[in-house]
Amino acid sequence: MSELYYPDWQIRRILRDVNTVAMVGASTNWNRPSYFAMKYMQDKGFRVIPVNPGSAGQTLLGEEVVASLKDITVPVDMVDIFQRSERVPPVVDEAIEIGAKVIWMQLTVRHDEAAKKAEDAGLTVIMDRCPKIEFARLSGELGWSGINTKVITSRRSRQIRA
Amino acid sequence: MTDNNDPRPPGFETLAIHAGAAPDEKTGARNVPIYQTTAYVFDDADHAASLFNLQTFGYIYSRLTNPTVSALEEKVAALENGRAAVACSTGHAAQMLAMYVLMNPGDNFVASRNLYGGSITQFSHAFKKFGWNVNFVDPADPENFRDAIDENTKAIFLEVLANPGGIIIDLEPVAAIARDAGIPLIVDNTMATPYLCRPFDWGADLITHSMTKFLGGHGTSMGGIVVESGKFDWAQNDKFPSMTEPDPAYHGLTFYETFGDFGFSTKAKAVALRDLGPTLAPQNAFNIITGIESLPVRMDRHLQNAQAVAEFLEGHPAVAWVSYAGLKSSPYRELAQKYLPKGPGSVFTFGVKGGYEAGVKVVESVELLSHLANLGDTRSLIIHPASTTHRQLTEDQQIASGAGPDVIRISVGLETIDDLLADLDQALGYATAKAGD
């Protein structure tokens, strides 16, 4: 498989412009990676709607968990997929159907065919990345943990969202 | 430089100055501030909980993390082309943190026998108290590492440019042996620095440094660091439960799953550094950051002076032999050209005619070189390992690790080359004249 490369400006724009995120595969267990990501993104001003048929109807970090993307009653800007790669295609079909603008597949999640379909439908697709990590990387917070952000800048502000 | 389409990474000199060191957002301070504080205020109880659960990025207490220290960690991670790093109080502490994540009582690791004497002692004695065993092997034949690996082996450890000097390990085949065994290769890169050698490019998985040496460069500040490549698959076998199984010290968090390619560093900070406590002082982190900014130009001059000193010694009548991989006479010249193409560092050994007595006399007769136990300073340093750094070893161990009775180690600094040569000439003449009487 070819190496994925997304320029920083593209990631930065997505994280600046997106407001409502549907998180498919959000877990109600506090020590699961999706829970970490949801809590962090809420802190950064995103509204995150958890999607998980197994815990539909429960409340997770102040939001009601829904069973599928089609159960969401507000416009969704981005669908963040916490699922194994082989389970991506039907999620992408639903994301196109509900009019999402961005599909974001988490670290280790990649499905080139589904991505192509989404891009042909006019959506932007990011694969094998984590929006929490990318937000922290570009805003400088990731460096607080001694992680190589690969960001070299002489500018003062690295703020992503106003 | 960040908002472009170019995946080409910045050059080494740019990284040495800028990586991890963007302007301070709050104040605009251009240099990395020294955050001389032990603790950090929480926004509220929920923020505190998120931090303690490792759910968000931020600072709690300087035993674990500190902004000045983090800036240094990011800089060294960038210079090594690694994913993340954990800084700590000394190079010895770095070795302890790395092994603490990897090892359980009854486990072992295989180490090159050509190491800094203090590391040999740490591995042989202190680590034994944790139930961690070490098997030392002759690194000249990489297959010796494979032969020493058993089902409880959790890592291979070596110095690519080995202390006390002149020896270079063939990294690539050793990395392949570690890969075959499903264990990480840990390379101590203190003597080479990432400017001369980048072990991750040759298949290493973790890198340790004593930053006290060339990285800091000025002999002012102690510091150590562990860098992770981010490429090792901790879940490929069941050898590393501390990475792949729920951690009871963190409410059942699984570090590799949650933190992925920076899981090792997160574990080393959140557990090893938290519970063992060898924290790097912010002032020292600042001093080392300042040192690293000039690493490339310093190393160029270190190399130039080292080559001149080595050639001078090789032609000196009082010198029996010189072990510097930059010399045509060195059996390590080819390996040096492969792994350290800019030059094989500035620390090496030579033998004085007249053995132990003459060696002691040389280090007692120098007037510009400093007789002390350190390396990688702006100042030129000289030591007789058998009576100092490698004193705790048996004579067999001393000889095996390149620190026999007649051996002198030199760390060539940045002084005017003619002054260094003149000082060595008078010390050698004095020492051997006396010895010959």
| Mean pLDDT calculated for residue range A58-79 | 97
A113, part of any domain:
yes
Please indicate, yes or no, whether residues B117 and B265 belong to a single structural domain of this protein: yes
B343, part of any domain:
yes
pLDDT at position B200 is 98
Mark yes or no for CB contact B84/A146 under 8 Å: yes
| Mean pLDDT calculated for residue range B373-393 | 90
Min Cα separation B20/chain A (Å) = 7
Contact list in A for residue B3 (CB cut-off 8 A) is 7-9, 12
Helix axes B295-314, B417-436, angle to 10 degrees: 40
**% of chain B exceeding 70 in pLDDT:** 97
User: Any idea how long chain B is?
Assistant: 437
Q: Are B208 and B188 in contact (CB under 8 A)?
A: yes
pLDDT at position A40 is 94
Please indicate, yes or no, whether residues B413 and B338 belong to a single structural domain of this protein: yes
Helix axes A131-139, A8-17, angle to 10 degrees: 110
Please indicate, yes or no, whether residues B314 and B410 belong to a single structural domain of this protein: yes
B3, part of any domain:
no
Full-model pTM: 0.94
Please indicate, yes or no, whether residues B83 and B224 belong to a single structural domain of this protein: yes
For the domain that residue B399 is a member of, what is the CATH number? 3.90.1150.10
Confidence of residue A129 (pLDDT cuts 50, 70, 90): very high
User: How many domains, chain A?
Assistant: 1
ipTM given for this complex: 0.89
Cα–Cα dist B8/A137, whole Å: 18
Residue B8 touches chain A, beta carbons under 8 Å: no
Secondary structure (3-state) at A49: strand
Q: Which of B74, B80, B231, B289 to mutate to test the interface with A (most CBs of A within 10 A)?
A: B74
Confidence of residue B6 (pLDDT cuts 50, 70, 90): low
Choosing from B291, B307, B322, the residue where a domain stops is B291
Mark yes or no for CB contact A145/B57 under 8 Å: yes
| Mean pLDDT calculated for residue range B98-103 | 98
What tens digit of pLDDT does each residue of B25-74 get? 999 999 999 999 999 999 999 999 888 888 889 999 999 999 999 999 99
| CA distances for B321 relative to B34, B150, B311, B333, angstroms | 46, 38, 11, 15
Q: Among candidates B373, B285, B309, which has minimal Cα distance to B76?
A: B285
Please indicate, yes or no, whether residues B326 and B285 belong to a single structural domain of this protein: no
A110, part of any domain:
yes
Choosing from B274, B291, B308, the residue where a domain stops is B291
Domain region containing A134: 8-145
User: How many domains, chain B?
Assistant: 2
A12, part of any domain:
yes
Residue A67 touches chain B, beta carbons under 8 Å: no
Please indicate, yes or no, whether residues B326 and B430 belong to a single structural domain of this protein: yes
B5, part of any domain:
no
Query: Would the CA dihedral through B313, B314, B315, B318 be positive or negative?
Result: positive
Please indicate, yes or no, whether residues B25 and B158 belong to a single structural domain of this protein: yes
Secondary structure (3-state) at B350: strand
Cα–Cα dist B200/B202, whole Å: 5
What tens digit of pLDDT does each residue of B137-183 get? 999 999 999 999 999 999 999 999 998 878 999 999 999 999 999 99
Q: Nearest-CA residue of chain B relative to A137?
A: B57
For residue B300, give both structure tokens: 């160029």
Residue A148 touches chain B, beta carbons under 8 Å: yes
Q: Is the pLDDT of residue B274 over 80?
A: yes
Domain region containing B405: 296-436
Q: Are A158 and A151 in contact (CB under 8 A)?
A: yes
B2, part of any domain:
no
Mark yes or no for CB contact A146/B65 under 8 Å: yes
Which residues of B, range 38-67, sit inside 8 Å of A by Cβ?
50, 53-59, 65, 67
Residue A146 touches chain B, beta carbons under 8 Å: yes
Report strand pairing: A124-126 vs A78-81: unpaired
Q: CA neighbours within 13 Å on the CB side: how many for B133?
A: 11
For the domain that residue A118 is a member of, what is the CATH number? 3.40.50.720
A156, part of any domain:
no
pLDDT at position B178 is 98
Which residues of B, range 214-253, sit inside 8 Å of A by Cβ?
246, 251-253
Q: Identify which of B25, B252, B265 has the shortest CB distance to residue A157.
A: B25
Q: Which of A148, A155, A158, A159 to mutate to test the interface with B (most CBs of B within 10 A)?
A: A148
The 3-state secondary structure of B180-231 reads: HHCCCEEEECCCCHHHHCCHHHHCCCEEEEECCCCCCCCCCCCCEEEEECCC
Q: Identify which of B28, B50, B78 has the shortest CB distance to residue A156.
A: B28
Which residues of A, range 3-32, sit inside 8 Å of B by Cβ?
5, 7-9, 12, 30-31
Please indicate, yes or no, whether residues B207 and B249 belong to a single structural domain of this protein: yes
Q: Are B84 and B73 in contact (CB under 8 A)?
A: yes
Contact list in A for residue B58 (CB cut-off 8 A) is 141, 144
Contact list in A for residue B73 (CB cut-off 8 A) is 146-147
pLDDT at position B436 is 47
Please indicate, yes or no, whether residues B287 and B310 belong to a single structural domain of this protein: no
Confidence of residue B83 (pLDDT cuts 50, 70, 90): very high
Q: Is the pLDDT of residue B1 over 50?
A: no
Min Cα separation B134/chain A (Å) = 29
Please indicate, yes or no, whether residues B323 and B258 belong to a single structural domain of this protein: no
Residue given tokens 């075959």 in the structure block: B180
Please indicate, yes or no, whether residues B323 and B423 belong to a single structural domain of this protein: yes
Confidence of residue B3 (pLDDT cuts 50, 70, 90): very low
Choosing from B246, B269, B291, the residue where a domain stops is B291
Q: Is the pLDDT of residue B434 over 80?
A: no
Mark yes or no for CB contact B84/A145 under 8 Å: yes
A157, part of any domain:
no
Report strand pairing: B407-411 vs B347-352: antiparallel
Min Cα separation A62/chain B (Å) = 13
Residue given tokens 């969401």 in the structure block: A72
Kindly state the greatest CA–CA separation across chain B. 79
B406, part of any domain:
yes
Number of Cβ pairs < 8 A linking chain A and chain B: 121
Please indicate, yes or no, whether residues B349 and B272 belong to a single structural domain of this protein: no
**% of chain B exceeding 90 in pLDDT:** 83
B44, part of any domain:
yes
| CA distances for A81 relative to A25, A90, B146, B303, B317, angstroms | 7, 11, 42, 52, 73
Q: Are B283 and B34 in contact (CB under 8 A)?
A: yes
